[in-house]
Structure 1
Amino acid sequence: MAKLDVLKTIEKTRGHVADRYDVYPEDLMRIMEKYVHPYSIASAAFTLGYAQGVKASEAKQKKGMRK
């Protein structure tokens, strides 16, 4: 399996996230207020992004079923 180039993936994806699934600065500030350790902050942000991705995927599947 090919290793993921994390920074390249981030840069390639920036600007292509639908507004309804994006993470806003106030969301990140809330994460930073709750979690102090940098690893906890990163983990929480990843979890939020994962949840948003699941939501987007489910919405796409529902849209496909209605056709």
Structure 2
Amino acid sequence: MLEREDFHCPYCGERISALLDLSAGDQQYIEDCSVCCRPMVFQLHTDGDSWDLQVQREDD
């Protein structure tokens, strides 16, 4: 089950889109911003139906 979510990079503020895999349960992972290349920490909490995504700077 995939969902697309738009968010703003916590470093440069650019709007970015992420594809989230809700079938894998709660996740935490790091991806580089496609604009400024800085590392963003993604925290995805899901029960398979509803979900919450938080994106923050790696140094927070």
The answer, yes or no, to whether TM exceeds 0.5 is no
If each structure's helix is expressed as a fraction of its own residues, which one has the higher value? Answer: 1
Question: If the length of structure 2 is used for normalisation, what is the TM-score?
Answer: 0.24
If each structure's strand is expressed as a fraction of its own residues, which one has the higher value? Answer: 2
Greater gyration radius: 1
